[in-house]
Amino acid sequence: MSIPRIAPYPVPTSLPVQSRVNWQPDPARAVLLVHDLQEYFLDFYDRGDAPVAPMLDRVRALHDACDGAGVPVVYTAQPTAQTPRQRGLLQEWWGPGVTAATDRAAIAGSVAPRAHDTVLTKWRYSAFAMTDLHDRMRQWGRDQLLITGVYAHIGCMATALDAFMRDIQPFMVADALADFSAADHAMALDYVTQRCGVVLASQACIDALAAPALPTSLDALRAELARIIGIPAAQVGLDDNPLHLGLDSIRLMSLVERWSAAGAAIGFVDLAERERVSDWWALLEARREAMP
């Protein structure tokens, strides 16, 4: 069985109501996933119609928002060369797929990866399967995944469920996804809302990423340091030196960039010369009060 020809359908606008969690995309925690937007998978659509045309526009807008907020962007793409062992059950289920359309394996030009993006080779429905996506997110100190691309009820939903099981908050960006049908698309959004994550519109996601993030409490500062260092928050004590806890200069610079973008006049030396978490909090409080 190959992929069916996909009739146009409108991008979902009425989203399922979330009642279990109040997760919000955080520019300090998020990674944008652009899932399998290869020409091969888009060729089954009428590219000039919904859902693909608006979906690609919204993926581009989200990519721009992530670039502005310092949020890493990760692409997945299946390889054209897959041994039977590598392709596994996909071969029996979907046939040769992109391996028989090697000239269509490229990621769609209108949403092509940019120089600073990460492109992972994709082997199974979930973007975590047989890739180092989780390791990379750990290294970046990030635990939210903003999911866009195709197909919503297959690889995107599988990735959302897998993220949840890895304690990564999944966000399905409803109008930056496309599927086999409106019903499949809606099913994916309903499932994620009920069982593992948050569904939101691309504009709500862009607005959340644009909200500069200064820690609003000492515990929020400890939690942010813990996430970016990759240790439990309980290990970030008020008298601990963040650099001695494992915060390296690259991550320190990313904090300076993020907090400066939020309007706090904080430089690298301001933090490096302060040796306690409590001193960092006092500095953040002082700089917040001095903000216009």
Ligand X SMILES: O=C(O)C1=CC=C[C@H](O)[C@H]1O
Q: Binding segment for ligand X among 151-159, 231-239, 241-249, 274-282 (CB under 6 A)? A: 151-159
Interaction of residue 36 with ligand CC(=O)C(=O)O, rule CB under 6 A: yes
The distance of closest approach from Cβ of residue 160 to ligand X in the complex, given in angstroms and rounded to an integer, is 14
Interaction of residue 151 with ligand CC(=O)C(=O)O, rule CB under 6 A: yes
Query: Is residue 132 flagged as an active site residue?
Result: no
Interaction of residue 41 with ligand CC(=O)C(=O)O, rule CB under 6 A: yes
Question: For residues 155 and 215, which CB has a smaller minimum distance to ligand CC(=O)C(=O)O in the complex?
Answer: 155
SS (H, E, C) the chain: CCCCCCCCCCCCCCCCCCCCCCCCCCCCCEEEEEECCEHHHHCCCCCCCCCHHHHHHHHHHHHHHHHHHCCCEEEEECCCCCCHHHHCHHHHHHCCHHHHCHHHCCECHHHCCCCCCEEEECCCCCCCCCCCHHHHHHHHCCCEEEEEEECHHHHHHHHHHHHHHCCCEEEEEEEEEECCCHHHHHHHHHHHHHHCCEEECHHHHHHHHHCCCCCCCHHHHHHHHHHHHCCCHHHCCCCCCHHHHCCCHHHHHHHHHHHHHCCCCCCHHHHHCCCCHHHHHHHHHHHHHHCC
The distance of closest approach from Cβ of residue 41 to ligand CC(=O)C(=O)O in the complex, given in angstroms and rounded to an integer, is 4
Q: Binding segment for ligand CC(=O)C(=O)O among 55-63, 148-156, 197-205, 251-259 (CB under 6 A)? A: 148-156
| Residues in 67-126 at the binding interface with ligand CC(=O)C(=O)O, rule: CB under 6 A | 125
Query: Is residue 143 flagged as an active site residue?
Result: no
Q: How many residues bind ligand CC(=O)C(=O)O (CB under 6 A)?
A: 7
By CB under 6 A, name the binding residues for ligand CC(=O)C(=O)O.
36, 41, 125, 150-151, 154-155
Footprint of ligand X on this chain (CB under 6 A)?
3, 78, 90, 94, 97, 125, 151, 154-155
